[in-house]
Structure 1
Amino acid sequence: MTEPAAAKGAAVRCVPAVPSWVSLTVSDLDSAMAFYGELLGWTFSRGPDRWGRYVRALAEGVAVAGMSASDLHLPVAWTTFFGTEDADAISERIQARGGTVAIGPLGFDAGRMLIAADRSGAPFGVWEGETGSGAVLNSLAGGPVWIELRTKDAFDSAIFYGEVFGWDSRKSGVFDVRWENERVVLRSADRSVAALVTATDPEARPSWNVYFSVADADESVELAERLGADVLGEVNDSPYGRWADLRDPQGGRFCLQGPRPEGG
């Protein structure tokens, strides 16, 4: 697996109860680096290779994502990691509420981690790491700016994650959950950072979707297509920005999100 660790002294902060890291597993790491580097302006630094070749993607000099190579023919996919103070306790809660833990908790350079699936089958990760300082994941241009679970029943999923991560016990103002724009929205430090929404396609597999920040969604979608990505539908406006669904050249689903047009 990959590691949410520091790069050149800078790393995003582990924020308990909300998405704090994302990671991609691919078969051809060099091709993935070329694609995402050109599209999002990322540079890369070499990371620890305990589980195979691994790099950290840097935006504004801060590590915002991990990318690893695998020869196990695993599905190419972005994994969202939630921050926590105690990975062992979270592992127990996941299993007690109908979820499954596939890997971990395991110790590594940046703390402890596990890979799990919620009771609807949506994969996600958990990271127990440094919570004291550093940039927040969704605050950096080129990094993940929005993360959204599309699932069969957003309210049931909200109950699952709320009980696992103790959403009701978090300090109001520091962490809040609210219903807005037909979504269950997570807010951290007065920013909307993630949401859970009932999918419009009831046959779609539940999944956490990562939205990367770009200056102009339309221009970035055109660039992604030239670089070999598949564009999955139209560029759309939402209350959180202008966005599009894409599939990278190796099959990994991701989204791009930019500001809404003025007056939009």
Structure 2
Amino acid sequence: MPAAAATDHAVRGTPCWVTLLTGDLASAQEFYGDVFGWTFRSGSLGEGFSVALSGGKPVAGLGNVARSMGVGVSWTSYFAVDDADLVAARVRERGGTVAVGPLAVGRGRAVLAADPAGAGFGFWEGAVLPGWRIGSGAAPAWLELRTRDAFAAAIFYGEIFDWIDRPDRCEVIYEDEVVTVRSGGHTVACLRGGAIEEAPDPQIRPRWHVYFRVDDVEKAVEAALAAGGTLVSEPSTSKVGQEATLRDREGGLFTVTLGTSC
């Protein structure tokens, strides 16, 4: 969940943070430290939360809450909202599910939800970390929703997050089976349609994926396997560069990439 000590504000409807919901914080820190070289500091949300740092800059949050909340181990993408209650109501009205919240966390409120296809995501009402932006600095390279119908997903998220083409909101670009979401001239998310049921791992269903940029995909894969992770998809080259998808020790899914934007 976003760090409560933050003081900045994100454009509403844009990704504002990513958090690993894990059941073993110490093990997760060891794993991601080995794979990415991250260091960690205590989070401001209390015991069981930490912030991953790369070069001293915040990358993501880790929360030891998967078991207590009754949710699966996963990387969860959070979107900034003005009113968590309003967005939660919109989720339900449009066929989605609200699993947790709105829940007071630090100086903000968080919600865990799922879209009509079952992809989990979160949203956050409150301040966010200043300077943290997808595709910039130490933040993840990009977020990507892999789902069966990108157009239907774009309508759902567009309606709940007010993705509309105006300066203080997101720009949405439709092209074939891919929907690109941009803010301030930067790509912040992609929604990609296709036959998810044909994925290499049958357990991979519609979901938001977090892409982490690395200098060498092969070395990152080797480090992940040595640290106890598993390989979901072999390193391959897409139109944005080489990438590979992995699971951490507890099953948390993520992708490493050489690309800079989806």
Question: Which TM-score band applies after superposition, normalised by the shorter structure?
Answer: 0.7 to 0.9
- The letter for the 2-side match of 1:5 is A
Q: CA deviation at 1:164?
A: 0.7
Equivalent pairs, count: 253
Find 2:91's aligned residue among 88, 91, 94: 94
> Which stretches in structure 2 are left out of the alignment for 5+ residues?
199-203
Using a 3 Å threshold, how does the CA distance of structure 1 residues 67 and 247 change in structure 2: closer, same or farther?
Answer: same
| Cα distance, 1:210–1:238 mapped onto 2, change above 3 Å | same
| Mapped partners of 1:181, 1:169: distance in 2 | 19
Alignment CA distance shift 1:128-1:69 (3 Å): same
CA apart distance, 1:15: 3.5
1:150 lines up with 2:149 in the alignment = no
Partner AA of 2:26 in structure 1 = D
Q: Which amino acid aligns with 2:251?
A: G
State the distance in 2 between where 1:169 and 1:250 align.
Answer: 39
Superimposed CA distance per residue, residues 121-173 of structure 1 (whole angstroms, 9 cap, x where no aligned partner): 111100122269423143123x311111111211111110011111125428x
Please state if 1:55 is matched with 2:55: no
Counterpart in the other structure of 2:105: 108
Partner of residue 230, structure 1: 230
Aligned AA for 1:120? A
- After superposition, the Cα gap between the structure-2 partners of 1:108 and 1:154, relative to the gap in structure 1 and judged at 3 Å, is same
Q: How does 1:129-140 map onto structure 2 within 5 Å?
A: 129-130=126-127, 133-140=130-137
Per-residue displacement from partner, 1:33-80 (whole Å, max 9, x unpaired)? 011012112111112455x51111112323221112244464211111
> Could you tell me whether the CA contact under 8 Å between 1:14 and 1:127 is conserved in 2?
no
Which residue of structure 2 lines up, in the alignment, with residue 208 of structure 1? 208
Maintained 8 Å contact 2:4/2:107: yes
**In structure 2, how many angstroms separate the alpha carbons of the residues matched to 1:59 and 1:86?**
31
- State whether structure 2 residue 188 is matched by structure 1 residue 193: yes
Match of 1:43?
Answer: 39
Distance 1:76 1:135, change over 3 A: closer
Measure, in 1, the Cα distance between the counterparts of 2:245 and 2:194.
14
8 Å Cα contact 2:3/2:45 also seen in 1: no
Q: 1:12 Cα deviation (Å)?
A: 7.9
Change in CA separation of 1:248 and 1:131 when aligned onto 2, cut-off 3 Å: closer
The residue type paired with residue 141 of structure 2 is: V
Tell me which residue corresponds to 1:247: 247
Look up the equivalent residue of 2:52 and give its one-letter code: A
Q: Does 1:183 align with 2:178?
A: yes
Using the aligned pairs only, state the percent identity: 43
TM-score computed with the length of structure 1 as normaliser: 0.85
Amino acid at match of 1:55: S
Q: Which moved more, 1:244-253 or 1:198-207?
A: 198-207
